[in-house]
Amino acid sequence: MDKQLVTLEDDGYFNLGTYHRPITTKSSIAQRWFNRGLIWAYGFNTQEASNCFEKVIAADPDCAMGYWGLAYTRGPYYNKAWRLFDPKDLKMALEATYRKASPVEQALIRAIVARYPQPAPTDDYSVWNRAYADTMEAAYKQFSDDLDVVVLYADALMNLTPWAMWDPYSGKPGPKARTLDACAAVSRALTQKGAKEHPGLLHLHIHLMEMSRTPEVAVPSADLLRGLVPDSGHLNHMPSHIDVLIGDYRSAVAANTAAVKADAKFVEKLGGMNMYTFYRAHDYHSLIYAAMMCGQSRVALDNCTHLEEAIPEKLLVVESPPMADWLEAFCAVRPHVLIRFGRWNDIINLILPTNQSLYSVTTATIHYAKGVAYAATGDVTEALKQQAFFNKALSRVPSSRMDYPNKCVDILKVAEAMLAGEIEYRRGNYEVAFEHLRRSIHLDDRLLYSEPWGWMQPARHAYAALLLERGRVEEAARTYAEDLGLDESLPRGHQHPNNVWALSGYHECLTLLGRRAEAKLLELPLKLATCLADILVQSSCFCRTNTPIGSCRK
């Protein structure tokens, strides 16, 4: 058996860095596959992690941590059969190997057994999650200097209230969230030996802080994580969660470029018909969003093509799990990019999907984009037709269709208000138009936190641009200040610091208002932002037609 596995070992596996956790086994092959499985698990590629843990057991059937790894990679959901073991058999295997494990391994096994107290599925996983967190807390108290125990403990706490660790408006921990306990454990661990090389710890620190009022606290962790696990797409991507929040879009583009390169290597070796496709799509989505924010049209549009190629129709038609509900929204990214860069003719020439039921979000988004394009080019009659098509398409989008964690129908409500505003503006009904656009801002702000944000062009950009077109400079200035995070009106995750679009608009406003000292302070960041763009930025939205001469020229 070992001989066969050695052949597998030497077959050019992925470069997952140097992180190593010794386990109780006499097999060097089992040890190596365990290291790989743990790294994949820390990078949220649980399917490949599970494959690695199966190889641990194949190399050493008495290795308790191999069975632990299989159980761990099932995550908080327990509604599918084990790939090689049913739940009852896995629990028996854990119990049979328990006595051979080290004390810390026994503590981890006790916790994972508590996570799955019965073989049958349940509708209330929160009970299991609490039991797991309580048992991991006991393990943490006993082994608080073990970085892997810290990571698993913090992960257990975070899974009690996923994506709700912080209240974005108060800045305090979310209801029932054990945020402060997780912060205390992770902060202490970051001072310990080996922390700077621990991908799981650095990864969780980013997630723990990104919804807080001080995401910059995780900048050192983000920088340490860059390149630490060369062939993990998700771990290469993760620093961009912080980059975007602090307005470092150039670094976000670089991080996600590294991520999609690693993802391409993964697909080349193992194919793309798997659940990791969601993370691959997420990496492309994040790269496109960062490129949009810094005005890099070529990067954004090129990666739209790669994103679409990553999600073939044969994958979307898979019903169990319902792949279209999780992936189809990524197919609707291109129209947003074309609007961002004012590519009106390209939008008008977009072809609707043949299977509009399968591509329901894409269909609605294309109609929205065409409506905006026709309005921006003065063809209100055709814009109204597209608005009617959009409304009909929106009514056909299933409530189960997600752009995680948001429902696509909620995101498309932003489009509904935005399109109404653009059309009414071109009809000369300015107050009605601005009322619709303010509603689009309200709906945009109420989307659940995600990175990248669910609505790809901040709604304030169109609103402020059209305010400027009407000479309402004070209102536009306030709107740009909000978007840039220069006042305290928006939660941190809703701000877009340093983006070239709002910087350009705000600088124009300050100049027109005679606030020259403030305008002067913006000149350097605006010059830097402009240098990163590959297009001429004259306004925060191409829907504005009377752009100023000479602004932000390339």
Residue 253 to residue 528: CA distance in whole angstroms: 15
pLDDT tens digit sequence for 3-36: 333 334 455 899 999 999 999 999 999 999 999 9
The DSSP H or E segment spanning 408 is helix 408-426
Residue-level pLDDT at 6? 36
User: Does 335 sit behind a cis peptide bond, omega within 30 degrees of 0 on the bond before it?
Assistant: no
User: Is the Cβ–Cβ distance between 462 and 420 less than 8 Å?
Assistant: no
- Those residues with Cβ within 8 angstroms of residue 452's Cβ, 6 or more apart along the chain or in another chain: 244, 285, 286, 288, 289, 290
Domains with residue ranges and CATH for the chain = 458-554 (1.25.40)
- Those residues with Cβ within 8 angstroms of residue 171's Cβ, 6 or more apart along the chain or in another chain: 212, 213, 491
pLDDT tens digit sequence for 296-338: 999 999 999 999 999 999 999 999 889 999 999 999 999 999 9
User: Is the Cβ–Cβ distance between 477 and 468 less than 8 Å?
Assistant: no
User: Is the Cβ–Cβ distance between 134 and 113 less than 8 Å?
Assistant: no
Residue 551 to residue 263: CA distance in whole angstroms: 39
Q: State both tokens at 499.
A: 């983006």
Instruction: Report the Cα–Cα distance between both ends of the chain, in Å, rounded.
Output: 62
Residue-level pLDDT at 11? 58
The DSSP H or E segment spanning 407 is strand 406-407
Q: Let me know if 9 is exposed, middle or buried by CB neighbors in 10 A (0-12, 13-18, 19+).
A: middle
Residue-level pLDDT at 547? 77
- Predicted TM-score of the model (pTM): 0.93
Q: Is 105 helix (H, G, I), strand (E, B) or coil?
A: helix
How long, in residues, is the chain?
554
Nearest to 199 by CA among 13, 76, 17: 17
Q: Let me know if 57 is exposed, middle or buried by CB neighbors in 10 A (0-12, 13-18, 19+).
A: buried
Name the residue type at position 173: P
Residue 195 to residue 85: CA distance in whole angstroms: 34
DSSP H helices in 446-499: 459-469, 473-484
Q: State both tokens at 293.
A: 């924010």
Residue-level pLDDT at 82? 31
* Residue 404 vs residues 22, 158, 241, 290, 448: alpha-carbon distances, Å: 36, 17, 15, 18, 9
DSSP state of 98: G
In DSSP terms, which residues pair with 402 in a beta bridge?
407
* Residue 256 vs residues 107, 251, 253, 338, 346: alpha-carbon distances, Å: 37, 9, 5, 20, 26
Residue with tokens 């993990």, as numbered in its chain: 232
Residue-level pLDDT at 95? 74
Positions of the chain with pLDDT under 50 = 1-9, 76-85, 550-554
Nearest to 412 by CA among 387, 449, 376: 387
Nearest to 373 by CA among 543, 492, 496: 543
Q: State both tokens at 388.
A: 């009617």
